[in-house]
Each structure stands twice: as C-alpha cells, then as structure tokens.
Structure 1
Amino acid sequence: MTPEEMETRIVRYGDLKPCRTAFIDAHTPGSDHKENFTIIGGGVSESPDQHVHIKDTPGFNIGAAGQPPKCRNSLHSHRTAEVFYVLKGRWRFFWGRWGTAGEVVLEEGDIFNIPTGIFRGFENIGTDYGMIMAILGGDDAGGGVIWAPQVIEDAKDHGLVLGENGVLYDTKKGQTLPAGVCPMPLLSDAELSAFPEPENDKVVRDYVARYWDMMALAAKRPCQVIGETGLLKDRPGFEVEFLTRGSLPENAYKLSAHEILMVMRGHWKLGWAGGEKTLAPGDTCAVPPGLEHTLVPAMSGEASLFRVMNTADKAGPTWTN
C-alpha cells in the first residue's frame, strides 16, 4: 500500500466536513447550531446534504457531533449500538421518554455505550465548542433514528418535516412531501411504553468508562473497553480497545479484522512496508485487514487512542449477561 493509498483511508480532524441540517431538530431552538459528521459509512443522517468521508463500512459506522455551549441533541433512540467518547469539552447525556430518567456527565476521554432501545439526548455543558466521536452498530446503522414524538412536533413548528421514507423536507425552502409519501407517524402510547427507562446508577455502572481508569488499566496491555470480557460487557458487532504507549505491541502486527484507529491524545506514527503516516488527535484511520504495521507514539508525553474492530457478532440490541 502506497502512502497516497493510505491517506485515502485517513480522515483528518481538520478536514471534517459538517452538515448543519442532518436531523429533524436542525431548526429547533436550542438544537439549531449543532454540526454532524459522517466519517466512515453513511451513519443515520436524514439529510442528502450530509458529506460521507469514507463510504465503505467495516461492519459499523463512525461519526461525530460538534456543538457550541448549551446546544443539545434531541431525544431519540436506536435499534443498534450508539457509543460516544468525548474528544473535546464537557457533555451531559440524559435519557428517558422526557429525558428525566437519568443523566451522566462525561469529561474528555470518557466513553458511553448507550443502551439500545432507550430515548437519549446530549448537550454541551462546557464553555467552548465541543466534539464527541460516535460508533454506530451495523453497516446501515440500524435503519435510522426513532424520535420522541415531541421532537417531531417541535420540528414541524419550525419548518422541518420527516417523511416516512426517512428523508427530511424543509418547508422554509418550499419543499413538500413527494406524492405517496406520508409524514413519519408519531409513536403511540402503547409503542412508547415499550421503551425502558433504566435507573441512573445501573447505567453509569454498566455503560460508562472513565478516561483515567482506562489509562491505568492500559499501562501494560490494551484495555478492552467494549466486548464480551470488556469493562462494558457487550457484543454489538464490534469491539473497542483503549491503548496507551505502554500497551502497544513491541513488533509489527496484523489483524484479520478491520482496525479503526481513533486518536484521543498525542501524535502517533503508523508504519508499514510502503511508508509511514502521522496521526493527530481527532484523526480516524481505517487500517485494512491483513496489513502488517507498527504503531508508536511520535513524541513523549500523554498518548492514547481507541481501537475499534469488527466481530462476527450480530449488530443488534445491547447484550447483557
């Protein structure tokens, strides 16, 4: 593989292209300044304007959300995994039918494997623009987003209508639903009753891992964060590991799985027989299966990254033992 070919498999943080109309709440006050990014795979964007950096998926999707202070993402649910880690800022995640069942605050480097089948939302509670990176289960990311009814109703009041085909139409731009396409129906009370509202302590205990805990656990070997034996025991169709300078293989290695490197802190050198690339915080690199390579920090100081690998497990609801 040439350096030029490898560069096509790297999405640089500084090259990310945002979409400001990706979801139904794009015009709703309080949510109208967020930016969404699709890094690997199409994600769950409802807008044809969303730019996709790498279209081929390794069994899961990689995306990101950027928001200024006090901006929030509205209550929604997914049928497959939605995992976030905080790259920049301080974020509050909340869940439940009205967003009042529980909440947790995440700092930089913390990771949250949000249980499938619950309504969830999040907001930037920091003092500057924040960024969270996302891993979504499945090649098609579970078939889209399920919105809480009040989100759809609020969006309609501000000019955005979601069709039953999963596409957004902006009435402020004169767009209307195509012939034969009805608006996305609201969930009934019976359907809403099927969405659980887990207790706060259980969610924080079983689905959240803290950055400095992972740093300590990865001092000598990779820390499995999400997996059957991970800190957050789950089998959503992928595994997540956390690596520091002390947990890296001493020699060149190769994997049979797709290996997605997502840099948290520090600069890293990725080397292979055809060349070398440097990865910076916020960069995402898709290392192809079977490529023998080395991975080392490029300089002294704090260095950490998340490594995501596809598995044979079905991308479905959160697994519990």
Structure 2
Amino acid sequence: MTPEDMAPRIVRYGELKPCKTAFIDAHTPGSNQKENFTIIGGGVSESPDQHVHIAIPHGFNIGAAGQPPRCRNSLHSHRTAEVFFVLSGRWRFFWGRRGDAGEVTLEKGDIFDIPTGIFRGFENIGEDYGMIMAILGGDDAGGGVIWAPQVIEDARDHGLVLSEKGKLYDTKRGQALPEGVGPMPVLTEEELKGFPEPTTREVVGGYVRRYWDMVALADRKPCKVIGETGIIRDKPGFEVDLITRGSATEAMHKHDIPSVLMPVTGHWRVDWEGGSTVLAPGDTMSVPEALPHSAVPSMSGDATLYHVVATGDPAGPTWGR
C-alpha cells in the first residue's frame, strides 16, 4: 500500500474538523463552547453538521471532545461501552442521575473505561484548552445518546429540541419538529431506577488506570490495559494496549481486522509494506487488516501510544463484571 493509499486512513490532530452543534446541550450555558470530533465510524452525534473523518467499519468508533477551561459535557449514558483517555488538560469526570454519585480527576494519558448504563459527564478543570479521546463499542455506537431528563429540559429552554428519532432542531433558526414526529421522551422516574449510581471507590477501583502506572507495566512488553486479560478486566468489544519505547519493536506484525494507533506522547515512525509515516500526539492512524506494519519512536524522550483492535465481543453492558 502506497503512502497515497494510506493517507485517507491517517487523521492529523491539526486537521481535525470540529462540530460545535453536535449534541442537545450545544446552546446550554457552560456547555456551549465544546467541540466534538468524529474520527472513525459514524459516532453518536445528533447533528448533520458532524464531519466523519474515516467511515470504514472497525468494530468500534473513535471520537474526541475539545473544551476550553470550565466547559462541561452534560450528563448522558450510552448503550455500549465508552472509554476515554486524556490527550491534554485536566479533567473531572462525574456520574449519577444528578452527577453527584461519584467523581474522579484525570490527567494526561490516564484512561477511564466508563461502564454502560451510567449517567456520566465531564468538564475541563485545567487552565488551557484540553482534549480527551473516546472509544465507543460497536460500529453503530449503540444507537445514540440517552440524556438525563434535566439536560433535555435545559436544552429546550435554550432553543434546541431533540426528536424521538435522535435528530436536533434549533428553534432559534426557525426549525421545528416535522409533522408526525414527536420530541425525545424524557425518562420516567421508574425508568431512571434502572441507571445505577456506583460510588467513587467502586468505579475508580475497577475502571480507572493511571498513565504512569501503565507506563511502568509496559517497560518491556505492551501493557494490556483493557481486555479479558487486561489490568481493566472487561470485554467492551475492543482491546486497548499501551506501548512505550521499551516495549516497541521494529518487527512487522499484522491483524486480520483493522487496528488503530493513537500516540499520547512522542513521535512514532510507522512502517508498513509500501511506505512509512510519522505520527504525533493527537494523530490517529487506521491500519488496514492483513497489512504488516511496525511502530517505534522516531525521536528521543518519552514516547507512548495506545493501540486499539476490535474483539467482536458484545459492546456492553460492563457494569458489575
């Protein structure tokens, strides 16, 4: 495969195309400055304005959220697993019906495998613009987002209405629900009982791993971060490994399905039969199935990357496993 053939499968950080109207809280004060990115797969955006960089099915979706300081993403849930790792900034994740069941603060490289069926939100509590990368289980990402009732109500007060089919309408632009299409129903109190509210101890102990701990574990061989045998023992539909300078190898290998490389620190030279490129933090590369390739740091200094590959397992639920 030539470099020209591979180019559409490499998304550079500086070329990411944001959507500022991706979700129902796009006008809600405190959430109206966030940018959403869909990198691989269709994602869960509710806006037709969302750009998809790589539409090739991988068995999972990859996206990102970029937010200035004190900007938050409202409480929501997914029907499939959602894994975040911090690319830059300092982030507070919180969960529960009202967002007060528990919370954790994550720094660069930290990873959070958020269990299915739990309302969660997050905010940038750092001093600069921050970015978190997200992996969602399944090719269809579970059919969209489930919003906490107050999020839908707040959005309506600021001009955004979500249809029962998951499409956004902006009344400030003169848009209205089509005839015969109703608004997205708000969850009833009885339905809300089905969304667990685990404590901070329960969630952090089982589903959060710190970057420097993983780096230490990956000093000689890649660290299996998420997977059936991972340090987070879960089967969300994909596996995640962390590779460091000490565990990288120039030996070529291949997978029978597409895999994804996502540098966290340093610059990485990726070689394959037919070409080569260098990836920087924030870049995302989709490696085609059956293509021999390798990835090694190209410069001195700290160098780590996450490697993601689908497993074909159900993409949830994960809570309680």
Q: What are the equivalent positions in structure 2 for 1:239-278 lying under 5 Å apart? A: 239-278=239-278
Name the counterpart of 1:300: 300
Q: CA deviation at 1:257?
A: 2.9
Cα separation, 2, equivalents of 1:10 and 1:205: 34
Query: Which amino acid in the other structure matches residue 18 of structure 1?
Result: P
Structure 2: how far apart are the matches of 1:185 and 1:319? 25
Query: How much has 1:319 moved relative to structure 2?
Result: 6.1
What displacement does 1:264 show?
Answer: 0.4
Preserved CA contact (<8 Å) 1:81 1:114: yes
Aligned to 1:148: 148
Q: Distance in 1 between matches of 2:231 and 2:176?
A: 47
The 3-state SS of whatever aligns with 1:247 is coil
Cα contact 1:234–1:320 (8 A) shared by 2: no
SS at structure 2 position matched to 1:246 = coil
Q: TM-score, normalised by structure 2?
A: 0.99
Contact 2:269 2:278 in 1 (8 A): yes
| 1:15 corresponding residue in structure 2 | 15
- What's 2:25 paired with? 25
Query: What stretches of structure 1 move > 3 A for 4+ residues in a row?
Result: none
Kindly report the root-mean-square deviation, in angstroms, between the aligned alpha carbons of the 2 structures.
Answer: 0.9
Q: Which moved more, 1:308-317 or 1:262-271?
A: 308-317
Give the partner amino acid of 1:306.
Y
* One-letter identity of the residue aligned with 2:242: F
Q: 1:263 offset after TM fit, Å?
A: 0.7
Which amino acid letter does the alignment assign opposite residue 96 of structure 1?
G
| Distance in 2 of aligned mates of 1:273 and 1:59 | 24
For these two proteins, the number of residue pairs brought into alignment is: 321
Deviation of 1:18 after TM superposition, in Å, equals 0.2
**C-alpha distance in 2 between matches for 1:5 and 1:124:** 37
Quick one: distance in 1 between partners of 2:3 and 2:140?
A: 29
8 A contact 2:82–2:135 mirrored in 1: yes
1:113 aligns with 2:113: yes
Residue 152 of structure 2 aligns to which amino acid in structure 1?
I
Unmatched 5+ stretches in structure 2: none
Check whether the contact 2:19–2:36 (CA below 8 A) recurs between aligned residues.
yes
C-alpha deviations, 1:164-217, integer Å up to 9, x for none? Answer: 010000000000001111000100000001100001101011000100001000
Whole-angstrom CA distance in 1 between matches of 2:294 and 2:229: 25
Residue number in structure 2 paired with 1:86: 86
1:151 positional shift: 0.3
Tell me the TM-score normalised to structure 1 length: 0.99
The answer to which of 247-256 and 129-138 deviates more is 247-256
- Return the alpha-carbon distance in structure 1 between the equivalents of residues 57 and 197 of structure 2: 31
**What is the 5 A alignment of 1:1-321?**
1-318=1-318, 320-321=320-321
SS at match of 1:28: coil
Q: Secondary structure at the match of 1:278?
A: strand
Q: Which runs of 5+ in 1 are unaligned?
A: none
Q: Deviations over 1:99-156 (max 9, x none)?
A: 0000000000000001110100000000000000000011000000000000000000
Is the 2:59–2:137 Cα contact (8 Å) retained in structure 1? yes
* Secondary structure of 2:286 counterpart: strand
